[in-house]
Amino acid sequence: MKYKVYCETDEKWEEFDCLMPREECPVDSNHTIREGSLSGAGASDEDYKVLRNKIIDRVVDEGFSNLTTQEKEIASENFCVSKADRDSVHTIDEQVAFGIEYHKKSTIARSKRRKVIEAEVYNRMQSSTERYDLMNGASAMIDAYVNFGVEGSLEGDDVGLFDYLESRVGTPFENTGLLSKGYNVEGMTINEFSERLMDVLKNGNY
Ligand SMILES: [Zn+2]
C-alpha cells in the first residue's frame, strides 16, 4: 500500500514511497496540503518486508511517542513496535486480526523471494545433479523460511536457511553449507552466489 496526499502548493497528488505517511507533502514539508486528503493509493508491487523495514527505520528515527496517531496505528498494524506500544493503540482482538494480515503479506513477500532464488539457481547452475543437491538439501529450510519466516541462527532462530547459504561457523552447516560445495555457478564465484541469494532473501533486493 502506498499513500498519497493532495498538495495545494504543487496543485497535484503526491505519493509516499512508504507504508507510513506523514500528514505533509513528501516533496517539501513547507507545502500546504489539503486537509483530510491523505489516503491509500492501492496495492503496491513492492516487497512488503522492504516497505515494513522503512516503517521500522522511521520508528527508530522518530521514537514511537513522537509519531502521529495514524502513524502509531500503522506501526502497530505492521508489528514494527513492542507489545506495550501495540497495546496503546489496538485491542488484543485487533492485534490478532492484524497478525493474520501480517503473516499473509510476509509469506507472499518471502514466496516472491523464493521464486527469484530459484531463477538464480536454475539459470546459473548448469548441472542438474548439483541443482538437485542444492535445492533438495535446502528444501525443508526454504519451506520453513517461506511459511514461518525461519531465517538463521544470527537472526534469532535455532538454525535455518541463512546458516546453510553462508556456511556459518558454529552451525551444522559450517563444513557442509553452500560455500563448502564445489558447485559450478555461471557468471560468479560460489561466494558471490551466496551473497546474491542472501541479498534477495534477507534484503529483498531483486
Ligand atoms: Zn508539495
Q: What is the pLDDT of residues 52-66, one digit of tens each?
A: 888 898 899 889 999
Distance 30 CA to ligand 1 centre (A): 8
The residues with which 14 forms a beta bridge, in sequence order, are 5
Find the 68 Cα to ligand 1 centroid distance in Å: 20
Q: How far apart are CA 182 and CA 104, in angstroms?
A: 37
* Residue range 76-134, pLDDT digits in tens: 999 999 999 999 999 999 999 999 999 999 999 999 999 999 999 999 999 999 999 99
Whole-structure pTM value? 0.81
**In angstroms, what is the span from residue 62 Cα to ligand 1's centroid?**
22
At residue 48, what is the residue type? Y
Q: Which residue has cell 547452475?
A: 125
Whole-number Å distance between alpha carbons of 119 and 153: 26
